[in-house]
A and B are shown apart, each in its own frame.
Chain A
């Protein structure tokens, strides 16, 4: 049974070769996946054009069901984006080096899920063409957005988070882009030459790099927490029963990390299988994420209980009624599925046998995310159906237009991700080397010195490969 996070005898050249290989020659499966994603996106585009032309009513949004799957899915994708920050920033700061082989794709996931999430508030607007009004652009009429509204906070929070996480993804990739540049031909070489910003891997560059990387990590952590707290403010700042909940910010952040971690497991298994990354995305690392997910799942379940208890023992009759109605009303099947997927399913992660079985984990991780998606819907939907005014108690189920757009958003995310894995290295080469180097030194110091000498010896006729010399100065 494999117990080590990574093979400590792995050669630098093999790491490069393995990762670079994953970016070349897409096989037929890849093209099928791309085609599927494009088909999904076109479903959404057709639906959106129809909705744009006819009016938002075709989504079967109605009074009082003014928000629907759009906002629920928006919160879902925002939540998904928290995993990358968790892996790359939080775990970086606490020196958990097992994150190194898997943080790159998690970070890409962050950026892409934000790019997906950002579409939803736009799609759901009644007058999409005026969406820029929520931004404080310079207007000669001196009109500003309403700074008291959580929706305009959203606009700021998401654009900031998207910019920073895209930058963070890019900065962390520079040494790897240099490796790609040195090994690529044609358009790729031109692209990587521009993107690697003249990286040579000398000491000074590494020192600067470490500093900015750490700085960005420190900047991103509070940002990630605040982004989802602000998204939760969309609900908790309101007056409606079931939304006006003080525990929403931590609840949302926990839910975000939860769904993010579950998505990491899914993508981990996919990448490991299709790119044959068995050497990097190893079972012990998967186990570590599973444990992390389990812990977060328990926090999430606990916060759920807190919410129920607070409602139950509080004196808000309507909130109480809403809670009971969630338990046994028309939303009950979804509600119980959510609780099952969110709180019972994660116990599968507690068993070593199951954790090490990839197909099981794949299914479990998808179910966890199904639960998390339902959670968001169970926040948005029931409150709109049952609130203070009894005359306005009604349920409207989402129409095909809504479903098509939600469905398409997964295709959009998949498409971005598929392009990413073929253009950029989805495993961080230089950080894997670093990890191997440190572990080697810890376990077999003499062998490490020998290997290190061999790797750093300049070979005749070839300049030293950048990134092959894992310098830890300034780290």
Chain B
């Protein structure tokens, strides 16, 4: 690398994160969530518990913030608009924001892990290697979305007393105490789909599989897919909303478009697109 090269192409090196350190991504899994459709039913969250062997920590630990919900439904109340306290009328004021790991392409959690237990995969995923994690919890502290959860205790016995352990999903592990975990975009389903596609000598077809949350949403608020495939449903949504990856600020031609990414200005480049909720006042 010559000096000229370095000076001239500096911005190129700075923007390297868009490629996540890879020359070529195989896939780029992304989500689009329409908040207009979300009714806050928590089905996605429950599905996530079932699919990903999430520990049920119980009321006490949940109250002391030691829960393990990879996908949480955040509730926010608007400023009272019709007078009175809108909390009494949730249908008026409450907005729901399903938050799962945003699988940032410039993830802030990745560089800070001392043992590189979290890294970027060629699928554009932000992977967490449970076996490698030593539990320094730095990644969670550096996640602006606070979407990483820590196994503060060993939950195996309390969470799935026999015979409940039979319900555990065999496609992925149960984490023990001292390990950080977070939403993986159902990586076990992604792997299965990729393996099947390879065995059948074809490409992964859009809609062939879904994440547990997208699959279980009664109102079809969540769309999952490969953003490198221009024909996938999720790519189309992103395009329609004129939101692009790799940008800290979107320049939309049409200001009425509802698409946005959470805390995009931090330049973490998240891969979850939200479509703002529109409400009649």
Contact = CB atoms under 8 A, between A and B. Distances in A.
Interface stretch (B105-113, B162-170, B200-208, B241-249): B105-113
A390 B137 CA distance: 20
A64 B65 contact: yes
> What does DSSP make chain A's interface, helix, strand, loop or mixed?
loop
B128 interface: no
A131 B133 CA distance: 10
A215 to B, nearest CB: 32
B151 interface: yes
A149 B111 contact: yes
Please classify how large the interface on chain B is, using the bins under 10, 10 to 19, 20 to 34, 35 or more. Answer: 35 or more
A239 B140 contact: no
Contacts of B142: 238-240
Given A63-B146, A238-B142, A126 B178 contact: yes
Contact of B144 (A55, A121, A387): A387
B114 A151 contact: yes
B197 interface: no
Given A66-B137, A389-B144, A145 B72 contact: no
B150 interface: yes
Nearest to A146: B116
Contact of A134 (B67, B115, B154, B263): B115
A418 B263 CA distance: 52
Given A67-B141, A133-B132, A62 B65 contact: yes
Contacts of B140: 63-64, 66
Interface string B100-129: 000000001001111110000000000000
B99 interface: yes
B113 A125 contact: no
A448 B179 CA distance: 68
Given A63-B140, A64-B140, A389-B146, A145 B134 contact: no
Interface in B33-85: 61, 64-67, 72, 74, 76
Interface in A83-130: 121, 124-128, 130
B144 A146 contact: no
B176 to A, nearest CB: 8
B114 A389 contact: no
B183 to A, nearest CB: 14
B135 interface: yes
B15 interface: no
B136 interface: yes
B108 A396 contact: no
Interface centre among A57, A125, A145, A148 (most CB of B within 10 A): A57
Nearest to B153: A55
A55 B178 contact: yes
B141 to A, nearest CB: 5
A155 interface: yes
Contact of B141 (A66, A133, A134): A66
A293 interface: no
A152 interface: yes
A148 B111 contact: yes
Given A57-B153, A146-B113, A391-B72, A67 B137 contact: yes
Interface in B140-186: 140-142, 144-146, 149-154, 177-180
Contacts of A223: none
B138 interface: yes
B65 A149 contact: no
Nearest to A390: B76
A157 interface: no
Given A146-B113, A238-B112, A56 B266 contact: no
Interface string A144-188: 111011111001000000000000000000000000000000000
Closest 5 CB pairs of A and B: A126-B135, A57-B152, A126-B178, A151-B114, A392-B146
Interface of B: 61, 64-67, 72, 74, 76, 97, 99, 108, 111-116, 132-138, 140-142, 144-146, 149-154, 177-180, 263, 266, 268
